């Protein structure tokens, strides 16, 4: 896993809630298993233009 993902996983296991925003597809690919098993609540926000 990516170093930042490892860190976020570790502190979330301590009870912290994490909001992680990324436009990179590689992040979703790295977390594919956790998204599928429900241990990560993945929400995709479509493009927003103001």
In a domain? residue 7: no
The pTM (predicted TM-score) of the whole model is 0.65
Average confidence score pLDDT of the chain: 86
Task: State the Cα–Cα distance between residues 11 and 44, nearest whole angstrom.
Answer: 22
CB-CB contact of 21 with 15 (8 Å) = no
pLDDT at 1: 66
Least Cα distance to 4 among 18, 23, 25 occurs for: 18
Counting the structural domains of the chain, the total is 1
Give the Cα separation of 39 and 13 in Å (integer).
11
Q: What is the pLDDT of residue 14?
A: 93
What is the arithmetic mean of pLDDT over 3-10? 88
- Domain encompassing residue 35: 20-50
How would residue 2 be classed by pLDDT, with cut points 50, 70 and 90?
Answer: confident
Residue 10 lies in a domain: no
Mean pLDDT of the region 8-28: 86
pLDDT beyond 70 at 21 = yes
Return the CA Rg of the chain.
12
Nearest to 31 by CA among 22, 18, 23, 40: 40
């Amino acid at each position: 896993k990516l170093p930042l993902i490892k860190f976020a996983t570790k502190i979330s296991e301590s009870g912290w809630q994490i909001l992680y925003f990324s436009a990179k597809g590689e992040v979703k690919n790295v977390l594919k298993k956790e998204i599928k098993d429900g241990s990560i609540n993945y929400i995709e926000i479509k493009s927003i233009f103001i």
